[in-house]
Amino acid sequence: MNINELFNVEGKTAVVTGGSRGIGEMITAGLLANGVKVYITARKIGPLLAKAEELSNKYNGECIALGCDLSTLEGVTSFANQIKEKEEGIDFLINNAGAAWAEPFDTFSEAGWDKVMDLNTKSLFFLSQQMKPLLTKNASLEDPSRIINIGSIDGLNTPAFETFSYSTSKAAVHHLTRHLAHRLVRENILVNAIAPGPYPSNMLGAAVAHDYSEIAKRNPRKRVGTPEDIAGLVIFMCSRAGAYTVGETVTSDGGIVKTSSHNLS
């Protein structure tokens, strides 16, 4: 029951997609700070390599950058093969890579639909499929492997913006999490999701000119999310403390979904 044993993830190996910025960087930092070896991926190799070096130095850990485009099946396969060349097994897969798209309903484009659905939902499924042998290698009844899918409260609420493919893709992520959990729990791989609310990121920042003050005022907690909030939840899910939590979508939103007046009957 010692807290250092309940939440210990030291010596594990993780893959965090989209791990070089935003929520993905926050998760990567939290894992590195607690002794996890982390592979991160993104499309832009230059900034990715720089971020991996920065985080390795900051946390005295091992952060390894592998550039690829996960929006295509070819990209997913290439990335999975790179990991398989380097590791016999992994412990955690954090499916965080994602994209958003906003366009008026009357002119919403097929490109805006397909780009978001391909990266946010399709690639998540196929990367989980292709990483399963690596996750199974390290999985046991006593110490299962984990898949954590990053959804969104936009997949639970009706968003204010016209981001039709984004909200749909995240609702699909939440349901896919339950379906994958049902299939993989028998192989000692636990699948859960996190539905973040407002966190500082390029995605949210672009919509508010990187001024989060109004969003913070409207939040029940009167602030936006911090790295400790999301990293702490991931560490719980990946540690012994979270080993009996399966198929859940846990909000990390300051109370927006459950306590805001428009959500109360």
- 166 catalytic per annotation: yes
Report DSSP state, residue 248: -
Q: Which amino acid is at 207?
A: A
Rounded CA-CA distance 247/92 in Å is 15
Residues 6+ apart with CB under 8 A from 60: none
Structure tokens at 147: 């898949």
Q: Exposed e or buried b for every residue in 244-257, given b needs 16+ CB within 10 A?
A: eebbbbbbbbbebe
Residue type, 99: A
Contacts of 107 (CB under 8 A, 6+ apart): none
Catalytic-labelled residue, pool 166, 199, 212, 244 = 166
Report the relative pairing of strands 189-196 and 249-252 from DSSP bridges. Answer: parallel
**Which sequence positions are flagged as catalytic?**
166
